[in-house]
Amino acid sequence: MSEYQGKTYQDAVLKAQQDLNKPQAELTITVVDPGRRGLFGLGARPVKIEAVVKKVVEPATPTLSSSPEEVAPVQQEEPAEQTPQLIEEPVATEQPEGAPDGQLSPAEIAARHEQNLHRMSAAATKLVDYLEQAYRALGVDVSATVQSSGAKDVTIELNAPTPGRVIGYHGRRINAFEVLSVVFLNYQGVKDAQVTLDSEGYRAKRAQTITRIGERAVTDVIASGQAVFLDPMPARERKLLHKQLEDNLNVKTYSQGREPFRSVVIAPK
């Protein structure tokens, strides 16, 4: 039995295996001194062990059987002879008369337009019932009637004994119901619809009011040289102002903010 030492137990065992020249050996280890690390290297003492070979593990080597059987080489099957297949040329489809390649024929366009008209008509009928029920929930007795209907637009007249409660303060209620109507039609399958709700000629009167507001704002901008910020308006009224002042040589217009609080700004050029 020989004595070995190292900083750790593993170091001492490794030295024992190397010294005995038996890396695969199983050793019988006896710890003589467990050693100590010390404090900051002071008083350190190495580990001491005594080791003797207990058993040598030899690597296993493959052996051949006494009567090996000959392994026949695997024969690869030759690929079957493939017969060439004829590729049929695509049959040219006859284009409808008057329709260039990739475009719809006038007949198809007319059919789709008719389908859109039918979809809007059915959705507008449901929208009328929805508006009457919604106003009734607010305590307003309203009779809704479809005035005109297209593929993407619809105009509905709202009649009530008290039009002011239908329209709301500065048109806020009727404008809010227009937004809800667009969402309702979208749910019914009519995308990007334009809805106009009117009551007792309110829209025409409001258009005249918007025109006067624009004229006064232009006067203020020219006099002060500073921009005028108008109150939030729905998209229809903002477009009316933009179109009214687009040819004015003294001012320019643009919109700012996010819906439903988007407003028009009139500024000097």
Whether the CB-CB separation of 260 and 232 falls below 8 Å is answered with yes
- Over residues 65-70, mean pLDDT: 47
pLDDT band with cut points at 50, 70 and 90 for residue 90: very low
Whether 7 has a pLDDT exceeding 90, the answer reads no
Q: In the predicted model, is pLDDT for residue 174 greater than 70?
A: yes
Q: What is the reported pLDDT for 64? A: 47
Long-range contacts of 188-195 (CB under 8 A, 24+ apart): 188/119, 188/122, 188/123, 188/126, 188/127, 189/119, 189/123, 190/119, 190/120, 190/123, 190/152, 192/152, 193/120, 193/152, 193/153, 193/154, 194/152, 194/153, 194/154, 195/127, 195/153, 195/154, 195/155, 195/156
Q: In terms of pLDDT, which residue wins out, 238 or 52?
A: 238
Average pLDDT over residues 197-212: 94
Mean of pLDDT values over 84-105: 57
Residue 37, pLDDT > 60, answer: yes
pLDDT of residue 50: 72
Whether residue 164 is predicted with pLDDT greater than 50 in this model: the reply is yes
Q: Using CA atoms, how far apart are residues 170 and 192, in angstroms rounded to an integer? A: 25
Mean predicted confidence (pLDDT) in 176-190:
94
Q: Looking at residue 226, what is its pLDDT?
A: 95
pLDDT above 90: residue 82: no
pLDDT at residue 260, rounded to an integer = 77
Mean of pLDDT values over 148-168: 94
Whole-number pLDDT of residue 129: 96
pLDDT at site 85: 52
Rounded CA-CA distance 77/186 in Å is 64
pLDDT given at position 3 = 74
Asked whether the predicted pLDDT for residue 65 surpasses 50, the reply is no
Q: Which residues pair with 153 in a beta bridge?
A: 194
